[in-house]
Amino acid sequence: MESQASYRTLQPGEMLNWYRIERILGRGGFGVIYLATDTNLDIHVAIKEYIPSDVATRSGDSHVHPITEDHGDVFRWGMDRFIKEARNLVKFKHPNIVRVMSVFQENNTAYMVMEFEEGEDLRSHLRKPGANSERSLKQLILPISKGLAEVHRHGFIHRDIKPANILVRKDGSPVLLDFGSARNASKFTQQSLTALVSVGYAPLEQYNQESEEQQGPWTDIYALGGTLYFAIGGKDPVESTRRGAAVLNGGKDPLISAEYLGEGKYSVGFLRAIDWAMQFGIADRPQTLNDWIPALLADNLDPDTGFPSGPGGPTSRIAAVRPGVDTKVMHELSDATVLSRERRTNIGGANQRKETQASHNETGANLKGLAGLTLLLSLVALGLWFITSEPEVDRAVDANSTPPAAQDAVTPETAEQIAQRNAELAEQQEAERKRTEQEQERQREAAALKAEQNRLAQAAAEEARLQEQAQQAAAEALAATNAAKAAEADEKQAEKQAEEEAQAEELAKKAEEEKRAEALAAQRIEQQRLARLAERQAAARTERRLKQAIGAAQTSLSVGDLTASQQQLKNAQAIDADDARVQTLAFAVQSALDEHNKPVSDADFDKVTRMFDALRRAIENKDTVALDRLAVSSQQSTIFKSLMNNFERIDVSITGIRVRNADKSIAGTLRIDSMIRANGDRGTLSEQYISRTITSRRVSGGWSKIEW
């Protein structure tokens, strides 16, 4: 779900360190994703900016700030989670999972740099002919599942799988984009939470801010099932909150099953695997990809049930590994589930206890209905026997009983008809025999049912007898207990006064101990408060020192003082070398050193020589605009502008152009050869003004204006 956030985004052309913003790729309630150019490597990257719309906004200088002071803690907490998750995601290097390259802080917020993947999202891809065939969908979902299993194996989940986040590259391979970042621990408002789930693809456990422990691989499997549901039906699944409102109130699940939606177009096992993944209850879904993928890929369906053969699966008929499914693939899919074995056992035990209690509650009602059921079945059996035993109309024609006159009249055609009727009679007799066998089978079943009913009735009578005996024994035990209690009453009465005195003394001691404990607890609380205050103050001092060191280093870099910037970088690293700002500063210092140590090239020499020549032409043409553009504004600029105003013609030359690698500069000598006024008089200057040195220095990868 995209957010309609009103905050200003970064504009095309803006720089983030060495990344140039090109355009927006997407935006949501949690942040913005930009297409950017890495100017160092000259490649495109995708950059996700942390700017949660519910708690933060951007000021005119591109800095991100909490909306109010009350939102500050939530904003900083979320940014810490954003940075931590980026550092975890950078560990995953799988061809079907988007790769995180780095993370850094800038503009008072954080940025995650990812590889930019080119292609089309799954929604667009499915519009192509044949793209939504069963084989094509399996070829897409299997690589995604392999990458996702690697994520699950490290204890993480994606939390936002949907068609828009699956990209199909030009070579046909899929890649899973846009992890949920800090979605797994959102402390934002309920509106923010709603903005962070994808309607139709998020199971109900994702809507509960306090149920993070209920989320696991089965959460991503629900979303994968929803993605395949969209692929086979062309529409998003029903939102899980609507399903929950119906199911939990005793109504019918409004989600049309995939088995019905794709009937006749896809195999039954494939459709049932999708329905299994989209079960409303957590315990009813596959718990890991290793459980689900074999059911999705299986092709050995049971001809009687339509399910893949073997135990397991959506109706306990899908095996963990089946013929036709590569066991190597399944080994790669073996993932660590967040749901522990102990928790699965507890869930199973709770369900079994509920079923046992329900069975006990229903036993009485079942026994009461046995008599009526027995009578009803007896009437049905009697009716069936009467119907099937009704005399048949004699259809047989005995050829031997035909009167002689008739026999004489038989023609070849009549004999053929008699033979046909005999065949029909044989078929009818065979059908009658089968009906008789079926009726006998039904009668045997009815007899077996009646025997079972008698057995249940006898069991109920035996249970009633045992209950009566148990009640009698309980009554006798109760009488014996009462007698024993009466015997003990006198003895306890004698002890009561002593016990009361001991209790009073014990209560006094306990009250004194509680008072001392409260005093100690208050002292500990105060000590903890002071310790936390000291920690915050120490952290604040460390942050100030770190900011001062980083600021001083950046200032030194801006003026080209590399020695000072290196020393200030060491100071910052001594404070906190793992801080993203320090790491960014280290990269900038190293880049400046690399730039400084790079020798002046022939191309650089030609470029500066052309700039010197352009300065010469500007003076001779009396072009003050070009003069200001080429040279640093100084006293020399003022002198030459005055000469341009007073003389009709000025001839200058530039000689002795030389390279100084020590400070990465190129210098030359500019000499005024002649100055002629409008009336033809020549002007002269003293020797100290006739010649001057002009210099251009390499700064930040370019060349400075001419200094003179």
Q: What is the CATH number of the domain that holds 22?
A: 3.30.200.20
Q: Please, are residues 10 and 50 in contact by the beta-carbon 8 Å criterion?
A: no
Residues 132 and 218 in one domain: yes
Looking at the DSSP bridge assignments, the partners of residue 19 are 16, 38
Tokens found for residue 70: 């009350």
- Is it the case that residue 701 has pLDDT exceeding 60? yes
Q: Please, are residues 217 and 287 in contact by the beta-carbon 8 Å criterion?
A: yes
Residues 545 and 623 in one domain: no
Domain boundary among 487, 514, 549: 487
CA distance 594 to 588: 10
Q: What is the pLDDT of residue 466?
A: 85
Residues 681 and 564 in one domain: no
Beta strand pairing call for 691-699 and 702-703: antiparallel
3-state secondary structure (DSSP) of residue 213: helix
Residues 542 and 689 in one domain: no
In the structure, what pLDDT confidence band is assigned to residue 7 with cuts at 50, 70 and 90?
low
Of the candidates 564, 568, 566, the residue with the CA atom closest to the CA atom of residue 550: 568
Lowest average pLDDT, out of 476-480, 505-509, 577-581, goes to 476-480
Q: What is the pLDDT of residue 187?
A: 41
Lowest average pLDDT, out of 171-175, 277-281, 448-452, 572-576, goes to 448-452
**CATH number reported for the structural domain that contains residue 623 in this entry:** 3.10.450.50
Residues 524 and 617 in one domain: no
Q: What is the mean pLDDT of residues 402-430?
A: 65
Torsion from C-alpha of 18, 22, 25, 28, nearest 10 degrees? 70
Q: What is the pLDDT of residue 476?
A: 84
Residues 358 and 467 in one domain: yes
Q: Does 402 reside within a domain?
A: no
Residues 165 and 270 in one domain: yes
Q: Does 429 reside within a domain?
A: yes
Residues 294 and 423 in one domain: no
Q: What is the mean pLDDT of residues 499-506?
A: 90
In the structure, what pLDDT confidence band is assigned to residue 471 with cuts at 50, 70 and 90?
confident
Condensed to tens digits (0 to 9), the pLDDT of residues 286-310 reads 999 999 999 999 864 444 444 444 4
Burial environment of residue 192 by CB neighbours within 10 A (0 to 12, 13 to 18, 19 or more)? buried
CA distance 181 to 33: 13
Q: Does 408 reside within a domain?
A: no
**CATH number reported for the structural domain that contains residue 267 in this entry:** 1.10.510.10
Lowest average pLDDT, out of 8-17, 72-81, 229-238, 684-693, goes to 684-693
DSSP string of 95-161, one letter each residue: TTBPPEEEEEEETTEEEEEEEPPPSEEHHHHTTSTTTTSHHHHHHHHHHHHHHHHHHHHTT---S--
- Is it the case that residue 211 has pLDDT exceeding 70? no
Residues 39 and 62 in one domain: yes
Q: Does 12 reside within a domain?
A: yes
Residue 1: partners with Cβ closer than 8 Å, 6 or more residues away? 28, 29, 194, 195, 197, 198, 199
Q: What is the mean pLDDT of residues 101-129?
A: 94
User: Any idea which residue has 């790079």 for tokens?
Assistant: 598
- Is it the case that residue 245 has pLDDT exceeding 70? yes
Q: What is the pLDDT of residue 173?
A: 95
- % of the chain surpassing 90 pLDDT: 49
CA distance 338 to 216: 5
Neighbours of 441 (CB within 10 A): 10
CA distance 388 to 385: 5
Q: Please, are residues 704 and 682 in contact by the beta-carbon 8 Å criterion?
A: no
Domain boundary among 455, 487, 519: 487
Of the candidates 117, 115, 166, 120, the residue with the CA atom closest to the CA atom of residue 139: 166
- Is it the case that residue 218 has pLDDT exceeding 60? yes
Lowest average pLDDT, out of 13-27, 147-161, 393-407, 491-505, goes to 393-407
Total number of domains in the chain: 5
In the structure, what pLDDT confidence band is assigned to residue 472 with cuts at 50, 70 and 90?
confident
Condensed to tens digits (0 to 9), the pLDDT of residues 143-154 reads 999 999 999 998
Q: What is the pLDDT of residue 83?
A: 93
- Is it the case that residue 317 has pLDDT exceeding 70? no
Lowest average pLDDT, out of 346-355, 512-521, 582-591, goes to 346-355
Residues 167 and 233 in one domain: yes
More confident residue, 54 or 630: 630
Q: What is the pLDDT of residue 692?
A: 92
Q: What is the mean pLDDT of residues 643-667?
A: 91
Q: What is the pLDDT of residue 413?
A: 53
User: Any idea which residue has 């210098």 for tokens?
Assistant: 667
Q: What is the pLDDT of residue 186?
A: 37
Torsion from C-alpha of 194, 200, 204, 206, nearest 10 degrees? -50
Q: Does 83 reside within a domain?
A: yes
Q: Does 409 reside within a domain?
A: no
Please provide residue 488's backbone torsions phi and psi, each rounded to the nearest 5 degrees: -85, -15
Domain boundary among 578, 597, 616: 597
Lowest average pLDDT, out of 273-282, 284-293, 328-337, goes to 328-337
Q: What is the pLDDT of residue 4?
A: 46
Please provide residue 31's backbone torsions phi and psi, each rounded to the nearest 5 degrees: 170, -165
User: Any idea which residue has 């060191």 for tokens?
Assistant: 549
More confident residue, 246 or 330: 246
Query: Which residue range(s) make up the domain with 668?
Result: 602-703
Condensed to tens digits (0 to 9), the pLDDT of residues 541-574 reads 999 999 999 999 999 887 778 889 999 999 999 9
- % of the chain surpassing 70 pLDDT: 80
Residues 315 and 236 in one domain: yes
More confident residue, 136 or 371: 136
Residues 62 and 203 in one domain: no
Q: Does 215 reside within a domain?
A: yes
Beta strand pairing call for 31-38 and 43-50: antiparallel
Q: Does 398 reside within a domain?
A: no
Neighbours of 566 (CB within 10 A): 18
CA distance 222 to 220: 5
